Amino acid sequence: MNVKLSDEQVAIIEHPLNYHARVMSVAGSGKTSTMVKRIRYLVEKQGIPPGSIQVLMFNRLARKQFADRLEAEGVQYRGAIHVNTFHSYAYSIYNILIQQGIMPPRDFWVGDREELHKKRIRLAVYEVQRNTNDQTLNPDDAEQAISLWKASMIPPERAGHRFNPLYAAVYSVYERMRLEANGATYDDMIIDIVNILQNNKSVRERLIPNIAFLLVDEYQDVNYVQQRLIELISARKCDIMVVGDDDQTIYEWRGARPEYIRKFHRIFNDRQCKDYTLTRSFRFGPIIAQCAHNVIHNNKERHPKRVVSHHISADGHVKIMTIFDETSSSSLDEFVTLIVSKVKETQNPQKVIILGRTWAQLMNVQGALLRHKVPHYLIGQIPFTQLYETERMLDYLTLCRHFQDTINENLIVALQAVLNFPRRYIPKVLIDDVPRLVKGASVNQAITSLMNHVQRSSQRNLLEDMYNTIEYINRQIYADKAISAYESIERLSESFGLIEYFRSFYGGGEASESRIVWLRAIADLAKQSQLDVPSFIDYVKYLDPQCGLEQSECIPITTIFRTKGLEYDYVFIPDCIDGFMPVRGGNVNPCYDKEGIVEEPEISAWEESERRLFYVGITRARKGVYISTVKGQHPTHSPRSTSSTVFPSPYIAEMNCEATTAIMSALQSIAAEQTSDSKELIKHYDKYGDIPLITQTLTDYYLPELGLEGIADDLRRKIGTIRSNSLKQKQSVKTHENWWDRFP
């Protein structure tokens, strides 16, 4: 289907030679089509040799889509135009360096061999733990820290960590192991290439082809080392066009910085730069576009741009579902029913997605989907039933069930797994020795034996509490009126102080919150199932989120971080409450250069980063956004942590959904009826008053495009009256007698 290009697209495609270009592109604005046509224009109209064009994409999916679009456009790119991801570009250059003897051969830890990299991180963590007796180190956090240091080109000897300095020690051990194994990840390849290219001019001139045009997509997501690579590739000799949107910078946690696209002119100052903006979204209609703009406009540090629908008549809506309690089963059931109705409408579960800021936000809806046997799958996370915490709770319930039984291999494994959940400071040596110590005993005798083998009274007391709790539940399981699984989970949680444990062990942020929400979710799953302990254990073990179906037949669930560049008919955002969206707290990069040699832009304020995530989430939708939240009004600038009350996300109020929907629907009616009657539109201003962001979009874009300058003038006059009356009211309020006039 041929879509008429917008004037904004045409200007970018015909951008003159010998100028750099920065393209700010809002969500769904057709940037891929524009870039493809730009390359075709360069080759066919400007005579640029295809082999002198280099394109850098953010990931493999984007690279494939771009290459396919080039072929569909009729541009013969294979073997000529270079289209790479940063990783594939680094890989190709690295192999050339090896062939020329500049670099020694490496064992590439990429693709199927990435597990070698992860294994070395786990071994490095274990070695540091063994040497320091610090059991709080986490392999996932270590991997994240190492990736951040490498993204900033910080070697182990200069690596600083703001929260736990031992992660720098893990980095040092990991690098020793990697070099001993002669391994190289993509991060290592880019670092090595940048170091060689910036220190050896002759190698740089020999390796980097004579590039006339460099195109970088998703430029807002580049990190420090990628930025240095771009600078070296361009060598201040070619035209550069960068495309991106600082409003969609959501990967700062892995080193991306929006400052590179904002300050592009200053960085690449060897020639003049022209700015372009793609404001028109082909993805959604004016209601979603305006709601998105209403939110993101509140960010102070951003390149100014509007979000406008290319098609005024395009369908699209935003619906808010308010509930009394974010854990209410009836409200969750209603939300699930709505999700299923949209699957029925589209006849394709892949056109619907459930999104959250964190996995904690998605926990309750997972439980509801499981209860209703709605097929779904998680992207980037293991299922709820396979979470570490779920497995530990099942271990406890299993020990409760078999408390009087002779211990077997499965019960030994369960006992070992729960001894330090929650943390009881039982030494790892003792836990490893459990099979020998408890051989032939019953479960209750095994726990008693362990109580006699620990050295501290505090450890003994904690084990005694564990014994008493399991014994109580065991007696109730076999009582005339058996205890339910829900009551057992509540008893275990209360006796072990799991909520307090999560907060003390994981801190007050996302890590603890996700586990607290998990506890509520599994308790609710048990409550709704109405099963006893033995039945619930079997029920959870055999729960299949996909219900035996292929992923293509199931509803995807994931975090917003994994949806960049993707779109769906319908987006569902559950539990949109303060604390989940936004996640409050400092937006601090834990990794830094102790010697200050690498100076990279500061990370954004957390308020700005969190608002971008919400913006990216709602702009994935083509037809509709459905958001569930709690009743009430968010108290602006009041952190959730100061009260136990749960508030709606502040972004819901910022969307101004009710007024936006009413006014944009009236606009669409005017467009459909081709009328110049402004009464319906003006009526809404009588109700909602002056809403500058919506008014500007109407008077500057939509109404002039429809040839309705008369309505635009009516609207301006109406706004003038509203503002004049508002000013008079303010002045009248200020007019009062002097206090001294009250005295005789």
Annotated binding-site members for ATP: 25-32
- Report how far residue 519's alpha carbon sits from residue 528's, in angstroms, rounded to the nearest whole number: 14
Token pair belonging to 324: 């009394």
For residue 50, is it left (φ>0), alpha (ψ between -120 and 50) or beta? alpha
Asked if 321 and 338 count as a contact pair (C-beta separation under 8 A), the reply is: yes
Binding-site annotation: residue ranges: 25-32
DSSP-derived letter for residue 553 is: G
Helix, strand, coil percentages for the chain (3-state, nearest 5): 55, 10, 35
Reduce the DSSP state of residue 280 to 3 states and report it: strand
Locate the DSSP E strands across 158-265.
159-161, 183-184, 213-216, 239-244
Reduce the DSSP state of residue 637 to 3 states and report it: coil
- Report how far residue 653's alpha carbon sits from residue 664's, in angstroms, rounded to the nearest whole number: 17
Asked if 444 and 412 count as a contact pair (C-beta separation under 8 A), the reply is: no
Nearest to 88 by CA among 122, 59, 117, 45: 59
Other CB atoms within 10 A of residue 360 CB: 22
Q: Regarding beta strands 591-593 and 159-161, do their DSSP bridges make them parallel or antiparallel, or are they unpaired?
A: antiparallel
Name the β-bridge partners of 655: none
Sheet (strand 555-559) strand order = 317-323, 621-630, 568-573, 352-356, 555-559, 376-378
Three-state SS letters, 117-158: HHHHHHHHHHHHHHHHCCCCCCHHHHHHHHHHHHHCCCCHHH
Asked if 702 and 312 count as a contact pair (C-beta separation under 8 A), the reply is: yes
Count H helices and E strands in the chain, helices first. 32, 18
Q: Regarding beta strands 53-57 and 591-593, do their DSSP bridges make them parallel or antiparallel, or are they unpaired?
A: unpaired
> Which residues touch 740 (CB under 8 Å, ≥6 apart)?
none
Q: Which helix (H) or strand (E) holds 57?
A: strand 53-57
Nearest to 689 by CA among 652, 653, 726: 726
Reduce the DSSP state of residue 184 to 3 states and report it: strand
- Report how far residue 561's alpha carbon sits from residue 251's, in angstroms, rounded to the nearest whole number: 7
Name the β-bridge partners of 712: none
Nearest to 289 by CA among 716, 705, 697, 711: 697
Nearest to 368 by CA among 322, 320, 327: 327
Name the β-bridge partners of 23: 243, 276
CA 312 distance to own-chain centroid: 30
The residue behind tokens 């942020």 is 509
Name the β-bridge partners of 318: 625
